[in-house]
Chains A and B, each alone.
Chain A
Amino acid sequence: MDFITGEIVGILLFFIGLYGLMTKKSIIKTIMSMSIMESGIYLFYVTINYVPGSVPPIGQQGDAPFVDPVPSALMITAIVIGIGVTAIGLTMFMHYKQKHGITHWSRNRN
């Protein structure tokens, strides 16, 4: 099972989210697909420079090497921005529902 690594799963998650974004008609489903895409990108960044046997970058460095702290610091800010994007999308969805009664992108029932 060598080919299942974090980077590959991150790329696959991104494309699963992209597929949902293209095919789903419900607006909430689209926002959820977007957050799955974001999660794939976070996973890709966190695992891109991972060396097995390393330790979290806290305190003095011992024998074991540190994990790269740069993607961690970037991804923390990205997660908080992601919840902001989700909140904006859901608020706009609720506004449209209240004003125009729209919950789906198309009225085509087929």
Chain B
Amino acid sequence: MTETHKIIDIVRILFAVLGAFVVLFLFLNHAEQIDTPLFDYFTSDFIAETGAQNSVAAIYLNYRVFDTLFEALMLMVSVMEVINVSWANKHAEQYRYEEDELNRKNNSEIVIRMVGIIYPFVILIGLYVIINGHVSPGGGFQGGAILATALITRYLVYPNFDLDLHVLEKIEKLLFLSIVTTPVLYVFMQLQPANTDLSNQIYMILMNSLIGLKVFSGLSIIFYRFVFYEGR
């Protein structure tokens, strides 16, 4: 029994090492130089075409907006999976908004005070990153994740299940619907005003805020379901 185990272990190590060597060998020995037509097309004139200073935002909000749509769909599917698995056998009694029994964890005084000072700044950074996503590094995904981190710091100080996740889930689905409709109307069907300089900027800011709020609500649903899974 133990000998076959040892053989299997050696086979695993050999598989990993040999695989790494084969892939490295193939990678280092191909000397073909490929042109970069996508790179040239996306970086040549993106400011005039899309109105975004940041070419990454120009790509994921205008040139390749399909990616963003399906990424939002993926996140929504994973949130639905998390909710359905964690409430698989308990329905109504777990699925409620707890108003009573608000308790305060015995955290240290230092953590509570410092989080109280930091909390508004974290939210401010999140909103800044979302709104300035098209002119500076950042955007909807990153800003939404920073806002969700702010919610985690709030949980450290005030560990109660006082968010109504039902409403948050509905908000997330509505936001997904508007994320799908906005680029379909604006980019694919070209329903644009004559002067596109201003409307491009408005479209970028609107899409970034929608994506940011959607990512924020999705990640906060996941986090709160995790923490309060089956009553801690």
Contacts and interface: CB of A to CB of B under 8 A. Distances in A.
Contact of B12 (A7, A23, A60, A69): A23
Interface in A71-104: 72-74, 76-77, 79-81, 83-85, 87-88, 90-92, 94-95, 98
Interface residues of A, number: 41
Contact of A61 (B43, B226, B229, B230): B43
Contacts of A83: 219
Interface residues of B, number: 56
Interface in B1-42: 1-2, 5, 9, 12-13, 15-17, 19-20, 23-24, 27-28, 36, 38-39, 42
B116 interface: no
A77 B85 contact: no
A49 interface: yes
B92 interface: no
Would you call the interface of chain B mostly helix, strand, loop, or mixed? helix
A4 B219 CA distance: 36
A57 B16 contact: no
Interface of B: 1-2, 5, 9, 12-13, 15-17, 19-20, 23-24, 27-28, 36, 38-39, 42-43, 47, 53-56, 58-60, 64, 67-68, 71, 74-75, 77-79, 81-82, 85-86, 88, 135-137, 139, 141-142, 145, 215, 219, 222, 225-226, 229-230
